[in-house]
Amino acid sequence: MAFDDAYRALTDHDDDARWAYGTGFADPFAGVPTELPAGVDPADLAAYCLMLGDDALIMSHRLQEWVTRAPELEDELALANIALDLLGQARLLLTRAGQAEGSGRDEDTMAFRREAAEFRHVCLAERADADFAHLVARLLVLSTWRLAAFDRLTASRDPMLAAVAAKGIKEITYHRDYAAQWVVRLGDGTELSHARMAAAAEAIAAPAGELFRPHEVEIRLAAAGVAVDPSTLRAEFDAVLGQVLTAATLDPHIFDTEMYAPADCGAAATMPPGPGAPGGRPPSGRDGEHTAALHDILTEMQSLARAVPGGAW
């Protein structure tokens, strides 16, 4: 058979077996050994996998919202590709979370059946984008943090986390490059694009601080050699952001702020309150505290799965 047209092979069957891959994904870890590392609280590991998995899942959803609205067709493809990479990372991490908690919850149950207060992502991931500058600023911050974290997680004592990280690094490297190149293009562009890029960076600087505030789960698992204490990522993050912002003719110290309060996420219009945080510290997205933006996301993302339980095509 000749393959002059690669797409023919996808569509020339007389049934729909190749038309699309469908929803029947069974298990992204099929055949992968699932033992947990010794001496680690399975509930902590599950919570940590949800933190990293939900960051990816919710940001992927926000990226998908831009498809059909991007400034150029090439950026549609780029955003869809990045969203797909993050969705793939989320599948692995949500599956691992279900294995760790021993509940039998699979990736679909995790994505489609949890309530808002059970999601563990940072508020920056769920934030709605006022314009394209906000999107690339958020993508730059989240992928810079994630790349630094995954780079360290390749040495995790959890073999699954280490494998997901090693694979993810290659992907997040070009996510970060894509975002950084757009920040430079807009910041070092016209007067208008510079002003809007500067406004976007300022708007997300305070919420970005949440990424570096260690949660008790992160501290315990970092001590056990499984996770990364996010406060240790600050220096690498600042160096990368400084490089990008300087090239973009923006203030290189915008993200230096250590300030973070839940109100920075727009929590004035908050959801029903989350489960709170230990020790009286203010609760964060890592505790399940979220804004009305997550309600909008879940309403769309979960509606079909909740309306047709177990549905597949």
Interaction site with other proteins (CB under 8 A): 1, 3, 6, 9-10, 13-32, 74, 77-78, 80-82, 84-89, 91-92, 147-148, 151, 159-160, 162-164, 166-171, 173-174, 176-178, 180-181, 184, 236, 239-240, 243-244, 247, 312-313
| Least CB distance to other proteins at residue 77 (A) | 5
| Least CB distance to other proteins at residue 21 (A) | 4
Separation between Cα atoms, residue 202 and residue 274, nearest integer Å: 27
Which of 175/290 has CB closer to other proteins? 175
Which of 22/275 has CB closer to other proteins? 22
| Least CB distance to other proteins at residue 263 (A) | 32
Which of 168/285 has CB closer to other proteins? 168
Which of 9/261 has CB closer to other proteins? 9
Which of 188/251 has CB closer to other proteins? 188
Which of 123/137 has CB closer to other proteins? 137
Q: Is residue 96 a contact partner of residue 161, using CB atoms and an 8 Å limit?
A: yes
| Least CB distance to other proteins at residue 262 (A) | 30
Q: Which two tokens stand for residue 105?
A: 């919850």
| Least CB distance to other proteins at residue 7 (A) | 9
| Least CB distance to other proteins at residue 302 (A) | 19
Q: Which two tokens stand for residue 272?
A: 């029903």
Q: Which two tokens stand for residue 103?
A: 């509940």
Which of 27/300 has CB closer to other proteins? 27
3-state secondary structure the chain: CCCCCCCHHHHCCCCCCCCCCCCCCCCCCCCCCCCCCCCCCHHHHHHHHHHHHHHHHHHHHHHHHCCCCCCCHHHHHHHHHHHHHHHHHHHHHHHHHHHHHCCCCCHHHHHHHCCHHHCCCCHHHHCCCCCHHHHHHHHHHHHHHHHHHHHHHCCCCCHHHHHHHHHHHHHHHHHHHHHHHHHHHHHCCCHHHHHHHHHHHHHHHHHHHHHHCCCHHHHHHHHCCCCCCHHHHHHHHHHHHHHHHHHCCCCCCHHHCCCCCHHHHCHHHECCCCCCCHHHCCCCHHHCCCEHHHHHHHHHHHHHHHHCCCCCC
| Least CB distance to other proteins at residue 2 (A) | 9
| Least CB distance to other proteins at residue 310 (A) | 9
Separation between Cα atoms, residue 28 and residue 96, nearest integer Å: 10
Taking CA 134 as the corner, what is the angle to CA 128 and CA 137, rounded to the nearest 5 degrees? 125
Which of 80/199 has CB closer to other proteins? 80
